Amino acid sequence: MSIHYHKEQGIFHLQSRESSYCIELVRGAYPAHVYWGKKIRDRHIAGMLERRGRASFSPTPFRDDLSFSFDSLPQEYPGYGTGDFRQPAYEVQLTNGTTVVEVEYTGHRIYSGKPKLEGLPAVYVEQDAEADTLELELRDRISGLTIVLTYTVLPDYDAIARSVSFRNEGKESMTILRAMSASVDFSHSRYDLLHLHGAWARERHVERRKLSPGMQGIESRRGSSSHIHNPFLALLSEDAGEEHGEVYGFSLVYSGSFSAQVEVDQYATARLNLGINPFDFSWLLEPGESFQTPEAVMVFSAEGLGGMSRRYHKLYRTRLCRGQFRDAVRPVLVNNWEATYFDFTADKIEHIAREGRELGIELFVLDDGWFGKRNDDTTSLGDWVVDRNKLPEGLEDLAERVRALDMQFGLWFEPEMISPESELYRQHPDWCLHVPDRRRTEGRQQLILDFSREEVCEAVAGMIRSILQSAPITYVKWDMNRNMTEIGSAALPPERQRETAHRYMLGLYRVLEQLTTEFPHILFESCSGGGGRYDPGMLYYMPQTWTSDNSDAISRLKIQYGTSLVYPLSTMGAHVSAVPNHQVHRNTSLRVRGHAAMSGNFGYELDLTAFTEEEKEEVRAQVKLYKDIRHLVQFGDYYRLRSPFEGNEAAWTVVSEDRSEAVLYYFRILGEANEPIVRLRTRGLDPEADYECLEDGAVYGGDRLMHAGMVIPPMRGDFQSFVWRFKRVSS
Based on the residue annotation, tell me whether 42 is a catalytic residue of this protein. no
Would you say 7 and 18 are in contact if contact means Cβ atoms under 8 Å apart?
A: no
Would you say 61 and 100 are in contact if contact means Cβ atoms under 8 Å apart?
A: no
Measured between alpha carbons, how far is 94 from 86 in angstroms, rounded to an integer? Answer: 21
**DSSP codes, 346-404:** HHHHHHHHHHHHHTT--EEEE-S-SBTT-SSTTS-TT--SB-TTT-TTHHHHHHHHHHH
Catalytic residue among 265, 549, 637, 690: 549
Among residues 254, 77, 84, 265, the alpha carbon closest in space to that of 179 is found at 77
Q: H helices within 245-365, ranges in order?
A: 304-319, 337-340, 346-358
Among residues 176, 164, 198, the alpha carbon closest in space to that of 273 is found at 164
Would you say 484 and 428 are in contact if contact means Cβ atoms under 8 Å apart?
A: no
ω into 59 cis (within 30 of 0): no
Would you say 381 and 419 are in contact if contact means Cβ atoms under 8 Å apart?
A: yes
SS3 479: coil
SS3 303: strand
Based on the residue annotation, tell me whether 343 is a catalytic residue of this protein. no
State whether the Cα torsion 466-469-470-476 is positive or negative. Answer: positive
Q: Which residues, 6 or more positions from 332, have their beta carbon under 8 angstroms from its beta carbon?
A: 360, 361, 362, 363, 602, 603, 623, 626, 627
Count how many Cα atoms sit within 13 Å of the Cα of residue 290 in the half-sphere of its side chain.
10
SS3 202: strand
Among residues 489, 490, 509, the alpha carbon closest in space to that of 499 is found at 489
Count how many Cα atoms sit within 13 Å of the Cα of residue 195 in the half-sphere of its side chain.
25
SS3 55: coil
Q: What is the CA radius of gyration of the chain?
A: 27
Catalytic residue among 84, 265, 387, 479: 479
Q: Which residues are catalytic?
A: 479, 549
